[in-house]
Structure 1
Amino acid sequence: MRLKLLALWVLWAVPAHAADPALLDQLDALYAKRNDAESAKALDKQVSEALKAVPDDFDLAWRKARILQWQADGATEKKLKMVLGKQTWEAGDLAAKLQPARVEGYYFAACGIGSYSQAVGIMKALGDGLEGKFNERLDTALKIDATYEYGGPWLVKGRYFYELPWPKRDLGKSAEYYQKAIARFPQSLRAHYYLAETLLKDGKAKDASAAIEKVKQGSTAYNPAEGQRVQQWAKKVDADIQEELK
């Protein structure tokens, strides 16, 4: 009887349909090459098609959110960033619903709300009540695993304190969260880049220069697509810092 009950539990616990592990490996391989526009496009198409067949698959849902966030993060046109941010938010929420004990869904949903808020304007986002939705998801991610994605939840929280308008902005707290990520993941160029921007805004151009130098001289081997993107962004911040130091 116990064996029968166990067998029934296994059948209930394992989804009848789940993404093929080989497909997940293929999607991850494409994600590693996401700085190539064609690879990113192919990844987005493949994961979207897979979700149509298996709409409640956690591993597909968070991977969909991940590539959407990459696209939203790099979008310069506000309308596109807004659309991608909202889609990231929705895909992240789906993943969180499917696996509420895992960090991925909450993290990417928070990132999506952040991108959406940047696109519509922080003041409008605050007026629309998005701050609570953002922090609810991000704080959950921080509790589950703050080290995910090279300390991604710490970086997003630090960016939150950077982006807020006065008097809610807190550049000291912003820097503290980046330092947490740097202490654990010194190779993270984004952590040093965000720290440089925060220090510059805080009137600490000399310290900002030291931080941005770590971005310029740092290796991208830990995450080539990510590192190359951040190093490209760093050029403008470096120019702003040097102008301030004159």
Structure 2
Amino acid sequence: MPAVETQSIMRAVAILDCFSLDHPELGVREIARQLHLSTSTVGRLLITLRSAGILSQDPTTRRYVMGPKILQWSSIYLSRLDLANEAAPALAELHRLTSETVSVYMLDGGERVCIARIESPERVRVVVRVGERMPLHAGSAGKVLLAFMPSEAVAQILGKPLERMTPNTIINRKTLTQELETVRKCGYAISHGERFQDALGLAAPIFNADGKVIAALNVAGPVMRFDDAAVAKYAPKIIRLANQVSQALGYVSSPE
């Protein structure tokens, strides 16, 4: 990114930082004085921020306030906090049952992002980090999210080159499509070393009040401990725990 663009971005962020609960409305000169910038420079940046919906301007006072885009962004952030809070008991219970690394992944565009996790106490374990982004086609949590997405969105993702994360990553579109159908029928997904070599993952979907899958509850461990027998043992439990989170979010399952 050119230095001029970087400078403009940093100045725009600095402008936003000028707003606070004590000073929710600011004029051009006030901001310029705080940042030691010219009023013309600040004015240009304010116009850009206003046109993007990040700031709004009072037509009478000509002073600026936070705009609707800020509310949109904060809603996204708060939804993640709410989900992480609602999932915390299930996450703790899954960790207690398995002693493996457990996590919650939220759908974010064409990727998944980890919003909560508890790591295994074992020396050899699967390591994930909150905020880490991963593809949807590789790993149990990714396949759960992908399996319940609208068909148009799935087609768009599968229409792009699929990165091979490990030798076991499924990059054949026909094979992956069949795998997603199995996930929908079973209600959970399994990954045999698709994202992490020599690891097995198990994930179940979390639904919101509208019946849309927005997240996945996941457990993963090294195959020397967490194997197919563990999948058979814990699959019903992870489905139950994911359903508990879904119900906490207002989801009501359809009668069988």
Quickly name the TM-score band, shorter chain normalised: under 0.3
State the TM-score, normalizing by the size of structure 2.
0.26
Decide which structure has greater helix share. 1
Decide which structure has greater strand share. 2
From the CA coordinates, give the structure whose radius of gyration is larger.
2
State the TM-score, normalizing by the size of structure 1.
0.26
Q: Higher RCO, 1 or 2 (CA under 8 Å, sep at least 6)? A: 2
